[in-house]
Structure 1
């Protein structure tokens, strides 16, 4: 790629980031009492521009390098805030976002290669537990700044794409014949999703520890 082409691509990425910044300024000026519909529309626009910018920057890097740099997605997982932990043979996967509605799964795709990379490395270095029959617990954690009406119905959320990745590394299958599934909601400092996989006999103690009945915002 010659210097002129590189400069054109760099300036394209600069314009994308400027567009995102403009949307964030718009959000700032909508405060302190924004019209909810306008605020949501502008926030969505900023997020979509960011999705496009992320994809373009990845493609730019891969083009410059002649392919994907080694450990890129593993480093992306670290930057995105994907966290894995195994404690008492319970695998917990923390994702830095709430699961999306079933009709809007595109926005979650940028996390998928990073989740794969993080699980692959953990399996190689830490020996992930393998589950034949298990319980899958999904914690939907909402930012405490959000109103209670922001909480969505569980049956409207897309879980399959993420569970398929986790299943690949530590489960025989996520069929209902082998796996129970539990979902709960609570509020905390920031929004995220935590998916825990455990032997069925550990679920009762896990639930007592989480005590979800006291975690929902009043």
Structure 2
């Protein structure tokens, strides 16, 4: 790219960030007693503008580098807050967001390459077990600032895409013939999803630990 083209692209990204900032000011001015539908719609519009801006900035970087820089998605996973951990034979994967509704899966696609990168790196450095028969536990963590009505029905959530990625690295298959599934919901300081994969015989102890932690929080 020549200098003029680069300058044009940079200014386009600046405008995108200005638009996001304007939307955030709109949200601020809707307080302290916002109309719920208007506040949600404005927040949604802000998030979508941010999605577009991030995608454009990625493409800009890839264009000027002639491709994806080495370890970019791994570094992006760190920035996003994706965490992979193995403790006492239980694999834990933390995603920095709630799983999307089945009708709105676009938001999670943004996390897919970074989740792949995080699991691949962890497997390379530490190794991952291979689970044939296992229990998959999905912990839906909601920001405690959200109202109880924000909690969604489990059958309305899209879990296939994230489970397919995790299964690729450590499971024979996530079919019901081999895997049991358990879901739970709790409130904490920020929203996220924690997916734990374990041998079936470890589930009872895992559940007791989670119930004890909930009792302490309450």
If the length of structure 1 is used for normalisation, what is the TM-score? 0.97
Task: Kindly provide the CA deviation profile for residues 162-212 of structure 1, in whole angstroms up to 9, marking residues without a partner as x.
Answer: 000000000000000000000000000000000000000000000000018
Q: What secondary structure, in the 3-state scheme, does the structure 2 residue paired with 1:176 have?
A: coil
Q: What secondary structure, in the 3-state scheme, does the structure 2 residue paired with 1:211 have?
A: helix
1:120 corresponds in structure 2 to 120
Counterpart Cα distance in 2 of 1:196 and 1:53: 32
2:64 corresponds in structure 1 to 64
1:18 equivalent to 2:31? Answer no
If the length of structure 2 is used for normalisation, what is the TM-score? 0.97
Q: What secondary structure, in the 3-state scheme, does the structure 1 residue paired with 2:110 have?
A: helix
2:170 corresponds in structure 1 to 170
Gaps of 5+ in 2: none
Counterpart Cα distance in 1 of 2:38 and 2:168: 41
The 5 Å alignment of 1:28-177 reads: 28-177=28-177
Counterpart Cα distance in 1 of 2:213 and 2:69: 45
Counterpart Cα distance in 2 of 1:150 and 1:206: 26
Q: What secondary structure, in the 3-state scheme, does the structure 1 residue paired with 2:85 have?
A: strand
Q: Aligned in 2, Cα 1:125/1:214: closer, same or farther, shift over 3 Å?
A: closer
Contact 1:77 1:118 in 2 (8 A): yes
Cα deviation for residue 213 of structure 1 reads 9.7
Q: What secondary structure, in the 3-state scheme, does the structure 2 residue paired with 1:141 have?
A: strand
Counterpart Cα distance in 2 of 1:26 and 1:212: 42
Counterpart Cα distance in 2 of 1:18 and 1:213: 43
Q: Aligned in 2, Cα 1:25/1:3: closer, same or farther, shift over 3 Å?
A: same
Contact 1:140 1:186 in 2 (8 A): yes
